[in-house]
Amino acid sequence: MPCGFGATRPFVSVLAVALALAAFVRAQPPTPRPHPQPKPASVNVDRTRPPLMPIETVWTLSFNNALTAAPAYDGTQGFFSIEGDRLVAYDLLAGTQQWLVSAQPLMDPVAGGGLVFVLESDTLKALRAADGAVAWELPFADKLAVHPVWDNGWLVVALATGEARAYRATDGQLIWSRDLKSAAHALPALAADRVYVPTADGRIIALRVESGEPIWERRLGGAGNDILALDERLYVGSQDNFFYCVMTEDGRVDWRWRTGGDVIGRPVADDRYVYFVALDNVLRAMNLSSGGQQWMRPLPMRPASGPIIVGATIVVAGQAPPLRAFNMKDGIQAGVLTGAGIAANAEAAAPAHVVEHPLRRVPMLLMLFKDIAKGASGTLIAHSLEPPLIDKLAPLPNLVQIAPVTPTTPPPRP
């Protein structure tokens, strides 16, 4: 019998522990469990980009001076170098002047991060975009191959000697310097953690933006022009009359397309296609991945700069107005763009610029022209939300017009 009692003790002990644990658990506050929530009703948001056409003029202004360099832009601000060694800032939405300071830029100014960067004869300085005051400046007597480039807090410069430098844009601190053995042929481009430099000897060099360490380099058939840098691919035209797609991972050429002339300006892209113009006077749309040509449209003029995406419209400019607008979907010409008061003999003073309204989804485009007598002028146009007015009414069908009858005898005299 004692043995029997001894055999039941473990069971009793385990049972006691289990009951104690159950009591402890019951004493604890209940842990809330998530209840299934009804899914909110899906809202269909129309994200289709509106076309630029039809247009309306938002404002037109005259600088009363010629532009001495291409403008710089930061958000809804524009910074214009004008005659008399001056730099003037404008609110692009209202077309009103914000400030005017003395400046002698040797190259096109650059803006970003609330600063405007100006290279003068022996100084590189940063002005505050809010008021034009000097934020920082440092001695700089080196000659540049192209104007500086700002992106995401970095200020990258390419010297004529082949050296590339990266500065911290907020205070001008030099972060790194790298000798590329050849001067830049076009502007450096930044994307993700890379800096891509097209050199005059036909290479594209990929550097780490934090340190300037080389990652890879790819030699093209000619010197590369301005680069469109995306996360996985680069798109660049070369002086060998080819348009290249280069993989950012290793510099491998994924595909290329022969053109009848040099590619002009920087390509642009949407989610599916890349668009570019060349000196064969053709606008092309190519598939981003495969390189297949979606469409091509001959231009009635020689392009002066790269294409611009404005809403669902591609805009191409020549040396003289008007600018030409094309539908992104099929390349069909959508119309011509002119500004109010623009003289027939006016020329483009600088490439057009897309203005993004912070609240409205209305495409806006700033066009800059120059006139020998009046100097430079700017016109901001936007997609018109009003239907176009009917200028002329068609005659009604079966309309019978009756001419007034002229009396054959004069009226009697009083």
pLDDT at 126: 98
Whether the CB-CB separation of 91 and 52 falls below 8 Å is answered with no
**Residue 60: Cβ-neighbour burial (10 angstroms; 0-12, 13-18, 19+):** middle
pLDDT at 362: 83
Could you read off the pLDDT tens digit of each residue along the chain, which spans 414 residues?
444 434 444 444 444 544 454 444 444 444 333 333 444 444 444 457 789 989 899 999 999 999 999 999 999 999 999 999 999 999 999 999 999 999 999 999 999 999 999 999 999 999 999 999 999 999 999 999 999 999 999 999 999 999 999 999 999 999 999 999 999 999 999 999 999 999 999 999 999 999 999 999 999 999 999 999 999 999 999 999 999 999 999 999 999 999 999 999 999 999 999 999 999 999 999 999 999 999 999 999 999 999 999 999 999 999 777 899 999 999 999 999 876 556 666 788 999 999 988 888 788 999 999 887 788 999 999 998 765 554 444 555 555 555 555 555 554 555
Model pLDDT for residues 302-314, shown as the tens digit of each residue: 999 999 999 999 9
Give the pLDDT of residue 26: 46
- Ordered by where they begin, the domains of the chain are 70-307 (2.130.10.10)
Closest CA to 178 of 194, 193, 159, 192: 159
User: What is the structure's pLDDT at 40?
Assistant: 46
Distance CA 304, CA 346 (A): 14
CA dist 312 and 329 (Å) reads 8
pLDDT at 363: 85
Torsion region of 10: left, alpha or beta (phi above 0 gives left; psi -120 to 50 gives alpha): alpha
Residue 70: its pLDDT value, please?
96
Please answer whether residues 374 and 62 qualify as being in contact, where contact means their C-beta atoms are separated by less than 8 angstroms: yes
Contact in structure between 284 and 292 (CB atoms under 8 Å): no
**Cβ 340 vs Cβ 377: under 8 Å:** no
HSE-CB at 124 with a 13 A cutoff on CA atoms is 23
* Residues present in the chain in total: 414
Q: What is the pTM of this model?
A: 0.81
Question: Do 350 and 71 touch, CB atoms closer than 8 A?
Answer: yes
Residue 284's pLDDT is what?
A: 98
Give residue 30's pLDDT: 40
Per-residue confidence (pLDDT) for residue 378, from 0 to 100: 94
Terminal Cα-to-Cα distance of the chain (whole angstroms): 157
Strands (E), 24-133: 55-62, 72-74, 77-82, 86-91, 96-102, 110-112, 115-119, 123-128
